[in-house]
Amino acid sequence: MPVQIQANISRLVNRPDSKVKAFASVSFDGAFVVYGLRVMESARGLFVAMPSTTYTDKSGKTQYSDIFHAVTRQAHDAIQQSVLNAYQQAIQQMQTNQFEYVPEPPPMPDWG
């Protein structure tokens, strides 16, 4: 029996200079949830980046390590398709004004 994957877009990013287009979460059979997935835009199109953490290795170079990732190509493709479908639905809802886009607030001034 296939695993039911449900994606949710938690935040759209509306900044032309950002490669990140949205933040998402996915749940598996309603039993597990993973937060921190990102819809990214590259020269080859949209893709889903898994949640990761950064660290500095012994040479001082920044490295990235996935917190969560699919083990099989089939699982990877299913997660990616689910998140990208949810992203397209969120974009359509925004365009039909079913919800209002609230931009990120400007940075607070440094008074100190």
Classify residue 26: in a domain, yes or no. Answer: yes
Number of domains in the chain: 1
pTM above 0.75, yes or no: yes
Give the pLDDT of the chain (112 residues) as one tens digit per residue: 788 999 999 999 988 899 999 999 999 998 999 999 999 999 999 999 999 999 999 999 999 999 999 999 999 999 999 999 999 999 988 777 655 555 666 666 666 5
Distance from C-alpha of 74 to C-alpha of 40, rounded to nearest angstrom: 20
Classify residue 108: in a domain, yes or no. Answer: no
Domain with residue 45: its CATH number is 3.30.1120.40
Please say whether the beta carbons of 8 and 65 come within 8 A: no
Classify residue 58: in a domain, yes or no. Answer: no
Classify residue 28: in a domain, yes or no. Answer: yes
Cβ-Cβ contacts under 8 Å for 101 (sequence gap 6 or more): 12, 14, 94
Classify residue 105: in a domain, yes or no. Answer: no
Which domain, by its residues, includes 80? 5-51+67-95
Classify residue 111: in a domain, yes or no. Answer: no
Classify residue 11: in a domain, yes or no. Answer: yes
Classify residue 107: in a domain, yes or no. Answer: no
